[in-house]
Chains A and B, each alone.
Chain A
Amino acid sequence: MPVAATNDFTEPAVAPVASSTSLRQIASHPLTLRFVSFGLLLVAWEYAGRIPISVAFPTFLETMRGLLDMAGDGSLLKAFLITLKPLIAGLMISIALGVGLGLLMGLSRFSEWLLGPIFIIAQAAPLAALIPVLTFAYGIGLTAKIMTVCIMAMPVIVMNTLSAVRNTPVSLVEMGRAFLGTRSQIITRIILPAASPMIFAGLRLGAAAAFIGIVLAELLITPTGIGDLISYHQSVADYPKMYASIFSIIVFSVLFIECLERVETVLFRPEKHAS
């Protein structure tokens, strides 16, 4: 990392500025807006729960109490560990295979001709409808759940990688050739970094789809993990805990996707730190 040069860009926030300007800086920070809108949503939730709009709709505070209970007795952690196994496995497979296939299709017209139509259809089709078929083919175990995650996550990863590769500036590739880069050097040092923002956009969408996939699988195939927590607490009418389970998986998926973004910046786009 070129630390020396980035200093003058990162340091001003630390300087002893007057309190009014630092307040303004906080107010204009993009994170502030996110927290404010998130906070407003929670207030609205609390209010709606107190009306109440339905007996089956707990307030935000009740839900948090339910969350603390489940965190305290270990049931939440246990459920997450169970859910994470097929989620991570399916996501890893989707990323490796999806980016690989997308690259292959982006670099060779023949493989795009061969494979392209499958993924174009897959991306548009409501693939969750295939879950019963997967259960029929692979049983109700881990395999069916991993497959569910894959069919949800892979198409968008493949298609984004494909168009990312296609969108590499022609002149950068030409530059690589002019300076005697080999085919593999051009792919790893020019095409991949140039495509990485769009590939990672695909990974974020893919990860979001993977979370949808795993929750669907856990609700539809056999209740396990978070899906089990949700359906169990629904069946015993413990709505705060049911909502707490839903809340926890949503928060987890948002944080997970946020992390992916960090990984991208660190690995491929150092210039984003500098500005």
Chain B
Amino acid sequence: MIASLANVAPHPGTAAQGSAIVSVRNIKKTYPGGVEALSGITLDFPEGQLTTLLGPSGCGKTTLLKIIAGLLPATSGEVLVGGRTVTGPGPERSFVFQDFALMPWASVLRNVAFGLELRGVRKSEREAIAVGHIAKVGLKGFEYKYPHELSGGMRQRVGLARALAVDSAVIMMDEPFSAVDEQTRRKFQEDLLGLIANEKKTFLFVTHSIEEAVYVSDRIVLLSRRPSRVSTIIEPKLDRSGDPEGIRRDPAYLDAVEGIWQSLKKYLD
């Protein structure tokens, strides 16, 4: 990819904590064939926060995330990352895929180290880094297993470790838990909160589950039905310092879930 070489890493001096590291400016996307997925999205993603795109299935969440990732061209509008226009994928962004996108012929270790492998990092060095991230996502001891030997939840942990391993400032996650069963999903959500607290990165998270959005997010962007626009932005102020189970009983959590449900309801008729 020649385009990706043009994308420069964020310049640390200019972006203060809380200011927008990713800015989406009037993005429109019409797929060839005439499906209008996004009709003018303008959004800021504050640095160091987890912002969730929440909306009904088919409203264009994946489309927006892939445009930000530089994997899909927008029809019009622009995306700025660290103040620079996105023309393709870049080292300051990494992606966690809905369907995991693991290479079945590669061990967990090679999958996690793959981003570094593509960047030409020496084998011993990248494997040392990967081993650390494998442990961080709770897969210590599974380094030499292959994806088909792992459960869905474990596979997505590999996907997350791969995104962490390249040490990008922004991590994008497209419905990372949608292919994972309910129990695993709750455990994973709790672990994710711990990881986020330690990582000091900006997360862009996509989900269609209200509970999941409220549980993990600092900010929630509600998208309307296709062609999609930003309808509301909600900032659930939850106390995440206590035990992760407690959050689900926190009145603020329950209020936020109810509030979002009320605003989404009007799109249902």
Contacts and interface: CB of A to CB of B under 8 A. Distances in A.
Q: Which of A6, A185, A194, A271 has the most CB of B within 10 A?
A: A271
B-side interface mostly? loop
A157 B260 CA distance: 56
A274 B149 contact: yes
A126 interface: no
A37 interface: no
A5 B94 contact: no
Interface of B: 1, 4, 66, 69-71, 88-91, 93-95, 97, 99, 101, 103-107, 109, 114-115, 117-119, 143-149, 162, 166
A170 to B, nearest CB: 9
B90 to A, nearest CB: 8
A22 to B, nearest CB: 25
Contact of A180 (B4, B103, B106, B145): B4
A132 interface: no
B105 A177 contact: no
Contact of A274 (B4, B91, B114, B146): B146
Contacts of A96: none
28 contacts: A2-B107, A2-B109, A5-B107, A6-B144, A169-B101, A171-B101, A174-B71, A174-B97, A177-B88, A178-B95, A179-B89, A180-B1, A180-B89, A180-B90, A180-B115, A180-B119, A182-B1, A189-B117, A193-B103, A269-B105, A270-B105, A271-B106, A271-B107, A271-B147, A271-B148, A274-B146, A275-B148, A275-B149
Contacts of B144: 2, 4-6
A56 interface: no
Contacts of A269: 105
Given A178-B89, A180-B115, A268-B105, 18 more contacts: A2-B109, A2-B144, A4-B144, A5-B145, A169-B101, A174-B101, A175-B95, A176-B118, A177-B4, A178-B71, A179-B94, A180-B91, A185-B118, A189-B117, A190-B103, A193-B103, A269-B105, A271-B104
Interface string A157-196: 0000000000001011011111111110100011001101
Given A4-B144, A174-B71, A180 B101 contact: no
A167 B97 CA distance: 19
A212 B143 CA distance: 46
Contacts of B143: 2, 5
Q: Which of B93, B103, B115 has the most CB of A within 10 A?
A: B103
Given A177-B1, A177-B71, A171 B97 contact: yes
A152 B117 CA distance: 40
A175 B145 contact: no
Interface residues of A, number: 29
B148 to A, nearest CB: 7
A178 B103 CA distance: 14
Interface string A126-138: 0000000000000
Question: For A5, A171, A175, which residue has the most chain B Cβ atoms within 10 angstroms?
Answer: A175
Contacts of A2: 107, 109, 143-144
Nearest to A171: B101
Interface of A: 2, 4-6, 169, 171-172, 174-183, 185, 189-190, 193-194, 196, 268-271, 274-275
Nearest to A269: B105
A92 B135 CA distance: 46
A179 B103 contact: no
Contacts of B106: 271
Given A176-B118, A178-B69, A275 B146 contact: yes
A179 B114 contact: yes
A196 B105 CA distance: 10
Contact of B118 (A174, A180, A271, A275): A180
B201 to A, nearest CB: 16
B166 A179 contact: yes
A162 to B, nearest CB: 21
A178 B145 CA distance: 24
A261 to B, nearest CB: 16
B150 to A, nearest CB: 11
